[in-house]
Structure 1
């Protein structure tokens, strides 16, 4: 583990310098690997990375360990650290998914992600209709209200939409569905920007309200159906952007 030096900023916040350096290295190396920077060259040793980036060996060692845990790297005897092929990467890791979405081929990844959502979120909505607690219903409604506020310019469109969908995953009372929250939140940031740009408008508030109302009413089948319709619309936009393009979209 890299040693973290504590530094107190003028505003009083305490920062762990070693940890910040490690995550900075993680970000640089992870993005470089995913975008193909090391496809035609040998991955550097920890000593070489330390020299190249002006950090300590302990920082590079920790970053390499973290990238290995994400499936991007592997250490082989007498060969050293090598980049793993794409199928070995952990696509459910929020960092890996974010780096992948930054690649030029992100539209294809968004299509696959939307297909995954179609398999997960309608059932999550149905479970939420059956098992949501009062606090969960308030969180879902709060997400919808934030989307409404975003339409008036008093909230962030992306954050509000993500809050709505994450609240539904949590409302399932199923720990496996809840685990998808980071993946959904990460990918939705790109997906929402893409679909909103194509359509020339934000997500449909009435469609989201129908999902919320079905969950509040405890109607699992209606919740499943309305969520499926909402995500199918997103998938259609990703797969056929020209037909979904709004005349005034830029």
Structure 2
């Protein structure tokens, strides 16, 4: 089998295994490798490599006389973009959604403030460009979620902080998790456009304090809805 084709097959098996894990198909322990190989119709070599990739991401744990145990999602290596995407496939729970909001509150307001101070002219223009696309779309429209994620990603990248930039994948995942519940709220689209416009204008004016406050206002809206949806106490905004 050609190397490129082999790598593609490993990725496909990984994706299938993750789907089974987040859908709780396997329970706490994965079936033996030979059983999984037959299930996915691949060689043991391909299955072994796919499992090793999940092991490296702290998603699995091999124990003698026990087998391959599925680790709790809180232990998964969230800095890995693939793991982020996989984690957000699972049904959200109150603690997870609370943690998502806490993460956004820590990262996005500070990133927005830094973007207002550090962004280049072209980066500011790209943020405005992303917003102009975003405001023409409504929840449910094709491309709405992608436009929202692009806007947030560009602001984070404009912060110039390489650690914040590495966290953009988690922010995109957080947005994808909250979109369904926010889109159902009456008036949500108007509020979203208004709060995002405030944020973009603050970056354009090079006003770090206002950019930070505006980013927090964007997150507050999501936090309020999550608090009601999951009956969970959200972190203090200030």
TM-score band, normalised by shorter chain: 0.7 to 0.9
The equivalent residue for 2:90 is 103
Which of the residues 19, 26, 29 maps onto 1:38?
A: 26
Question: Contact (CA 8 Å) 1:126, 1:219: kept in 2 or not?
Answer: yes
Which of the residues 60, 63, 81 maps onto 1:76?
A: 63
Task: Work out the CA distance in 1 between the residues paired with 2:145 and 2:59.
Answer: 28
TM-score of the aligned structures, taking structure 1 as reference length? 0.81
Task: Work out the CA distance in 1 between the residues paired with 2:128 and 2:10.
Answer: 38
The equivalent residue for 2:41 is 54
Task: Work out the CA distance in 1 between the residues paired with 2:63 and 2:50.
Answer: 17
Query: What RMSD, in angstroms, separates the aligned Cα atoms of the two structures?
Result: 2.6
The equivalent residue for 1:209 is 197
Question: Contact (CA 8 Å) 1:129, 1:216: kept in 2 or not?
Answer: yes
What is the count of residue pairs matched by the alignment?
230
Task: Work out the CA distance in 2 between the residues paired with 1:240 and 1:197.
Answer: 13
The equivalent residue for 1:240 is 228
Is there any run of 5+ residues in structure 2 with no aligned partner, and where? 231-238
TM-score of the aligned structures, taking structure 2 as reference length? 0.85
Change (3 A) 1:71 1:99: same
Change (3 A) 1:54 1:169: same
Question: Contact (CA 8 Å) 1:35, 1:103: kept in 2 or not?
Answer: yes
Greater RCO, CA 8 A, separation 6+:
2
Task: Work out the CA distance in 2 between the residues paired with 1:27 and 1:155.
Answer: 25
Question: Contact (CA 8 Å) 2:130, 2:147: kept in 1 or not?
Answer: yes
Alignment of 1:80-95 (within 5 A): 80-95=67-82
Is there any run of 5+ residues in structure 1 with no aligned partner, and where? 6-15, 243-250
